[in-house]
Amino acid sequence: MDKTIQHWEQRGKQSFTYKGEDFYTITPAPFYYYRRNKILCFIKKQLDSLEKSCVLDFGCGDGYYSIFFSKQTEHLRFYGCDTSKAFINRAKINNKINSADVEFREIKNGIPFNKKFSLIFIISVFAHIYEDTEILRIIGEFNYKLFKNGLLVLVESTAKKSRGNKINKRRKISDYINYFNLDYDVIDITHNPKLFQTFINRTLLFFLRLLFFNNNGVLANKNRFYILISEVVYWFSTKIDALFKNSDGYTFFAFKKK
């Protein structure tokens, strides 16, 4: 099995509980939780502009976002797809637990829904695709699947200079703008700097995991002491990051199809 597929199949089977919810992230839970709230607000703003129509969650993971929005917006119909079978199974279970009505399908050969969408959102997926050509191929698929004037909402880790490995690659904001340049207009870009958070993630929390718990982010997140330290570090990092501009971070993009 391909290494990246193997990685996601494994991740799809791990979890921990934070604030009474199930998560699978390797990011310290408090950092993930607050970022998720910001993402929800950004996507909600774009969804509010839609009339009755269909929305696709591409690379949906455990389906949290589409399930959440499907409960809030009855006039919209949500669909989710992912290359990982483990995550699609998990999304289907979450769908049932939450009595939601999202349709989840595994990607085997392209987007597995025979319909067009008014909005497609992609959260933290492109950073896990190493080859630019593969990203351009997927954007080509989006072009067929989005209506004219449809919205494409992208949330990604970004950096001043592209860097990373096969599993996690940060790209520049301008790289993402260039990918969409020909067929889309930019309607919103919000950059959330997190230089200090990145530093903390990589060093302090890395050593904490190594020394006291387990160097697996999901398992570390099960430890209350680790969570407590992460809460404190998160509070400081937001103050420090507010001082930086144009640093590493995560960026919210909204594009409109021409």
Ligand X SMILES: C[S@@+](CC[C@H](N)C(=O)[O-])C[C@H]1O[C@@H](n2cnc3c(N)ncnc32)[C@H](O)[C@@H]1O
According to DSSP H, which parts of 115-186 are helical?
132-145, 173-180
For residue 155, give the nearest of 18, 54, 40, 70 by alpha carbon. 40
Q: Rule CB under 6 A: is residue 251 a binding residue for ligand X?
A: no
The answer to whether 32 and 245 are in contact (CB under 8 A) is no
Token couple for 132: 């630019």
Q: Rule CB under 6 A: is residue 119 a binding residue for ligand X?
A: no
Render the burial of 71-88: b for 16+ CB within 10 Å, e for the rest.
Answer: eebeebbbbbbbbbebbb
Cβ of residue 239: shortest distance to ligand X, in angstroms? 26
- 43, 60, 152, 195: which one contacts ligand X (CB under 6 A)? 60
Would you give the DSSP letter of residue 99?
A: T
Cβ of residue 103: shortest distance to ligand X, in angstroms? 16
Q: Rule CB under 6 A: is residue 195 a binding residue for ligand X?
A: no
Name the pairing type of β-strands 117-123 and 53-58. Answer: parallel
Would you give the DSSP letter of residue 63?
A: -
How many residues lie near ligand X (CB under 6 A)? 15
Beta-carbon count within 10 A of 203 CB: 10
Residue closer to ligand X (CB basis): 106 or 188: 106
Cβ of residue 142: shortest distance to ligand X, in angstroms? 12
Looking at 13-21, 60-68, 179-187, 215-223, which segment touches ligand X (CB under 6 A)? 60-68
Looking at 69-77, 117-125, 189-197, 202-210, which segment touches ligand X (CB under 6 A)? 117-125
Residue closer to ligand X (CB basis): 2 or 48: 2
Q: Rule CB under 6 A: is residue 87 a binding residue for ligand X?
A: yes
Instruction: Supply φ then ψ for residue 152, to 5 degrees.
Output: -125, 115
Q: Rule CB under 6 A: is residue 64 a binding residue for ligand X?
A: yes
Residue closer to ligand X (CB basis): 192 or 240: 192
Token couple for 220: 């570390």
Binding site for ligand X (CB under 6 A): 8, 59-61, 64, 82-84, 87, 107, 123-125, 128-129
